Structure 1
C-alpha cells in the first residue's frame, strides 16, 4: 500500500523535495555571503552602528558616483587587500555593488571567510541607493 501511495503521488513528492532543496540552498548561500538589507537599514547601520560602506564596483563606476566615506576595493581585488579592512572586523559592513548580487555574494563570502561577522549586502546596490534619493559624491 505504501508503494502505491508513492507511485500515485510521485510528482507531489518530487516537488516537495525540490522546494526543500531550494530553501536549504537559499539559506546556506545567504549565511555565507551576509544578509541583504534595504536602504533604511543600511543608513541605520552606517549612522548609528559605525558601519563601514564597502564599495566593490569597478573604478569607473565608483568614480561616477559613490556613497560618502565609502571604502573602495573592487571585488576582484578584495582577497588581496583584505588587510585594509582588519580594523573594521567588529563593525557592520555594508557591501555596495551596482545592481546585481554576484559581486556582493562573493565579497560577503570572502569577508566571512576572514572572520568578519556583521556583513550586509545592500539590496539593489547603488541603483537602489540613488532611487531613494540618498546622497552620493562624484570624484
Structure 2
C-alpha cells in the first residue's frame, strides 16, 4: 500500500489521468447497460407482442409508415411524442415497443417514455432489422 501512495505522490498527473479514464469507462459501461435494457431484438419484440399484447408505436414519418410497418403498429411521429407525450397515455397499461428506421430515434423516444413511467422499449436496428429478420410487414 505504501508503494502505491509513493507512486501516486511521485506521478500525480499520471495517477489523475488513470483515475479519470477509469471513471469514464465506468460511466460509459453504465450508459451502455442502460441502453441494452431498453432494447429488444425483433424476436424479443414478437414475443412481447404475442405474450403481453405490447403496443407497437412507429415513430417514422407517415410516408415511410405507409410504405411498410409492423402489423398493428400505430403511427405517431417522434416529434409529436417529444412535443406532446400525452398522446401515448392510452397505452400506459401495456408494454410499448418504439420503432423507427434504424433504431436511433426510437432509443430517444423509448428513454423519454421510460422516464415518464411507461414500460417502453426500442426495437434494436429498427425496421431494417425487422425486415432483415423476415418478420411480417403491412404495406398501405
Q: 1:21 to 1:95 in 2, by over 3 A?
A: same
Structure 1: 5+ residue stretches without partners: none
Determine the structure 2 residue equivalent to 1:35.
38
Counterpart of 2:95 (choices 67, 92, 110) is: 92
How far is the alpha carbon of 1:114 from its aligned partner? 3.2
Residue 114 of structure 1 is matched in structure 2 by 116
TM-score by length of 2: 0.81
Does the 8 Å contact 1:35/1:119 carry over to 2? yes
- From the two aligned structures, give the one with the greater helix fraction: 2
Provide the residue aligned with 2:73 in structure 1: 70
Within 5 A, what are the aligned runs for 1:124-139? 124-139=125-140
Structure (1 or 2) with the larger CA radius of gyration: 2
Instruction: Note the aligned Cα RMSD (angstroms).
Output: 2.4
The CA deviation string for residues 90-130 of structure 1, in whole angstroms up to 9 with x for no partner, is: 211111010141x11221133224331x1111110000000
What residue in structure 1 maps to residue 29 of structure 2?
A: 23
**Higher relative contact order by CA 8 Å / sep ≥ 6: 1 or 2?**
1
CA distance in 2, matches of 1:129, 1:24: 27
TM-score under structure 1 length normalisation = 0.82
